[in-house]
């Protein structure tokens, strides 16, 4: 699974720490997510998607393909 977190953070001018605070996780969790070293729980994926006002599948790409 890949994701667009870094791209979306840049779009919204958020730091890793800003996003971490908004979804109540440590900054390191965001770092690991962006590097693809951690798959989020469904709740975390949902929370992150809500921050960006997108559907989960618009933030997290399953199967490695991007639309």
Overall size of the chain counted in residues:
67
The answer to whether residue 59 is domain-embedded is no
63 pLDDT more than 90: no
pLDDT at residue number 66? 53
The whole-angstrom separation of Cα 2 and Cα 39 is: 9
**Domain region containing 20:** 2-54
CATH number at residue 23: 1.10.260.40
The answer to whether residue 23 is domain-embedded is yes
Q: What percent of the chain has pLDDT over 90?
A: 90
The answer to whether residue 22 is domain-embedded is yes
> What backbone phi and psi angles, to 5 degrees, belong to 61?
-105, 115
The whole-angstrom separation of Cα 18 and Cα 64 is: 26
Domains held by the chain: number: 1
Instruction: List pLDDT tens digits, range 27-48.
Output: 999 999 999 999 999 999 999 9
């Amino acid at each position: 699974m890949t994701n667009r977190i870094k791209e979306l953070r840049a779009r919204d001018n958020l730091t890793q720490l800003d996003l971490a605070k908004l979804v109540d996780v440590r900054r390191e969790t965001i770092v690991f997510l962006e590097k693809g070293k951690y798959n989020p729980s469904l709740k975390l994926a949902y929370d992150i998607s809500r921050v960006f006002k997108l559907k989960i599948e618009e933030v997290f790409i399953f199967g490695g393909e991007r639309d």
